[in-house]
């Protein structure tokens, strides 16, 4: 099998060290296999940001109230992962006040209507009391996002194939069009998956921005932070990452502006104030000290302690 177009890492092994070229090439091959996959499935479902269903590339027509309950079943199935979800769990999400028999009846009717809307019975697999989306028929943006994030963040090949690693995370960010079911009426079963994917989005943005900073590509790092903040304007960690980029570029006025934007957003959105770590970066810019960078202030997760309500 040929390796045209692949990155080769040539090393000269020592007497007690094996030749790593084969390992490096294999890792690059693996990274190529992790590239974003084109959506060619008959049923395409997008749940990040605006919810939408596409049949053979065309948006599914609006059926008004007749579609509401079948679409709610589809959304609940996605929220629970889309694989081997207990049917009883689904009807508890949609009909929490119904007893077992009535809930099962409602579920059966709604499942039939959903299959009809998707123009195929094969899109949904109902077996042994569990429901799944058929991966051979359905493409789901949250599945693709999970794949890109998990393979990218956990890849051992970052140092060997940095371009592929960066492309992986950029693709994940581009796919994240908004928070899970962001425009839908709030339901309690939406909150846990929304929070989980939102945190993964934060991790990707911070990891990619940090990587770009270490390469001295501050403009690219700033662009990543700004892109992420458009979708998550209450994320204090992203503001700190952006302030850090500006400090490294010596743009203290931009640091002060970003701090003001962060303070206003947290005050209006969360009735909170910036943390001590964010204040520290602001003070560094205020006194004109853009050479000492407080990377220790960039601790993932601190901003999430402030957030109680997800939209």
**What CATH number is associated with residue 136?**
1.10.10.10
80 and 111 in a common domain: yes
Write the CATH number for 150. Answer: 1.25.40.10
State residue 149's pLDDT score. Answer: 93
Percent of the chain with pLDDT over 70: 77
Q: Is the pLDDT at 291 greater than 50, yes or no?
A: no
Decide which of 108, 140, 172 is a domain's last residue: 140
Domains of the chain: total: 2
Q: Is the pLDDT at 28 greater than 60, yes or no?
A: no
C-alpha R_g of the chain: 23
75 and 55 in a common domain: yes
* HEC-encoded secondary structure of the chain: CCCCCCCCCCCCCCCCCCCCHHHHHHHHHHHHHCCCCCCCCCEEEECECCCEEEECCEECCCCCHHHHHHHHHHHHHHHCCCCCEEHHHHHHHHCCCCCHHHHHHHHHHHHHHHHHHCCCCCCEEEECCEEEECCCCEEEHHHHHHHHHHHHHCCCCCCCCHHHHHHHHHHHHHHCCCCECCCCCCCHHHHHHHHHHHHHHHHHHHHHHHHHHHCCCHHHHHHHHHHHHHHCCCCHHHHHHHHHHHHHCCCHHHHHHHHHHHHHHHHHHHCCCCCHHHHHHHHHHHCCCCCCCCHHHCCCCCHHHHCCCCC
| Ramachandran assignment for 86, one of left (phi > 0), alpha (psi -120 to 50 degrees), beta (any other) | beta
What mean pLDDT is reported for the chain?
Answer: 82
**What pTM was computed for the model?**
0.78
149 and 106 in a common domain: no
State residue 159's pLDDT score. Answer: 55
Question: Average pLDDT for residues 124-132, to the nearest whole number?
Answer: 95
pLDDT digits (tens, 9 = 90+) for 181-196: 999 999 999 999 999 9
State residue 65's pLDDT score. Answer: 80
Least confident of 107-111, 139-143, 164-168, 251-255: 164-168
Residue 3 lies in a domain: no
Residue 5 lies in a domain: no
State residue 306's pLDDT score. Answer: 36
pLDDT digits (tens, 9 = 90+) for 192-229: 999 999 999 999 999 999 999 989 999 999 999 999 99
Residues in the chain: 311
In angstroms, the CA 54 to CA 46 distance is 8
pLDDT digits (tens, 9 = 90+) for 247-282: 998 899 999 999 999 999 999 999 999 999 999 999
249 and 173 in a common domain: yes
114 and 63 in a common domain: yes
115 and 149 in a common domain: no
What is the β-pairing status of strands 138-140 and 43-46?
parallel
Torsion angle (degrees, nearest 10) of CA 229, 230, 231, 235: 30
Residue 279 lies in a domain: yes
Q: Which domain holds residue 155?
A: 141-306
Decide which of 121, 140, 159 is a domain's last residue: 140
Contact 60, 117 (CB under 8 A): yes
pLDDT greater at residue 241 or residue 164 = 241
pLDDT greater at residue 302 or residue 84 = 84
State residue 48's pLDDT score. Answer: 97
Q: Is the pLDDT at 304 greater than 50, yes or no?
A: no
140-165 b/e (C-beta count within 10 Å ≥ 16 → b): bbbbbbbbbbebbbebebbebbeebb
State residue 62's pLDDT score. Answer: 74
State residue 22's pLDDT score. Answer: 41
Residue 288 lies in a domain: yes
129 and 270 in a common domain: no
In angstroms, the CA 119 to CA 135 distance is 16
81 and 208 in a common domain: no
Q: What's the pLDDT band for 154 if we cut at 50, 70, 90?
A: confident
With a CB cutoff of 8 Å and minimum separation 6, the contacts of 135 are: 143
301 and 153 in a common domain: yes
Q: What are phi and psi of 248, to 5 degrees?
A: -65, -25
State residue 12's pLDDT score. Answer: 35
With a CB cutoff of 8 Å and minimum separation 6, the contacts of 179 are: 48, 49, 194, 197, 198, 231, 232, 310, 311
Q: Is the pLDDT at 59 greater than 50, yes or no?
A: yes
Least confident of 23-32, 62-71, 82-91, 147-156: 23-32
């Amino acid at each position: 099998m040929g390796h045209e177009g692949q990155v080769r890492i040539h090393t000269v092994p020592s007497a007690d060290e094996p030749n790593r070229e084969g390992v490096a090439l294999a890792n690059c091959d693996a990274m190529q296999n992790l590239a974003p996959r084109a959506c060619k499935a008959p049923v395409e479902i997008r749940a990040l940001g605006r919810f939408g269903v596409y049949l053979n590339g065309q948006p599914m027509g609006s059926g008004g109230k007749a579609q509401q309950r079948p679409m709610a079943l589809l959304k609940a199935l996605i929220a629970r992962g889309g694989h081997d979800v207990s049917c009883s769990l689904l009807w508890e999400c949609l009909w929490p006040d119904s007893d077992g028999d009535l809930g099962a009846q409602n579920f059966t009717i709604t499942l039939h209507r959903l299959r009809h809307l998707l123009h195929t019975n094969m899109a949904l697999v109902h077996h042994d009391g569990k429901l799944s989306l058929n991966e051979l028929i359905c493409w789901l943006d949250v599945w693709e996002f999970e794949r890109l994030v998990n393979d990218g963040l956990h890849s051992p090949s970052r140092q060997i194939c940095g371009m592929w690693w960066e492309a992986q995370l950029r693709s994940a960010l581009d796919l994240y069009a908004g928070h899970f079911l962001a425009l839908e009426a709030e339901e309690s079963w939406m909150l846990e998956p929304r929070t989980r994917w939102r945190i993964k989005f934060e991790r990707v943005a911070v990891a990619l921005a940090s990587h770009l900073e270490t390469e001295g590509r501050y403009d690219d790092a700033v662009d990543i932070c700004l892109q992420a903040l458009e979708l998550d304007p209450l994320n204090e960690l992203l503001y700190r990452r952006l302030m850090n980029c500006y400090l490294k570029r010596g743009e203290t006025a931009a640091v002060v502006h970003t701090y003001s934007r962060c303070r206003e957003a947290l005050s209006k959105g969360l009735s909170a104030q910036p943390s001590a770590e964010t204040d520290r970066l602001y003070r560094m810019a205020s006194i004109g000290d853009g050479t000492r960078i407080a990377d220790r202030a960039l601790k993932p997760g601190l901003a999430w302690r402030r957030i109680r309500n997800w939209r």
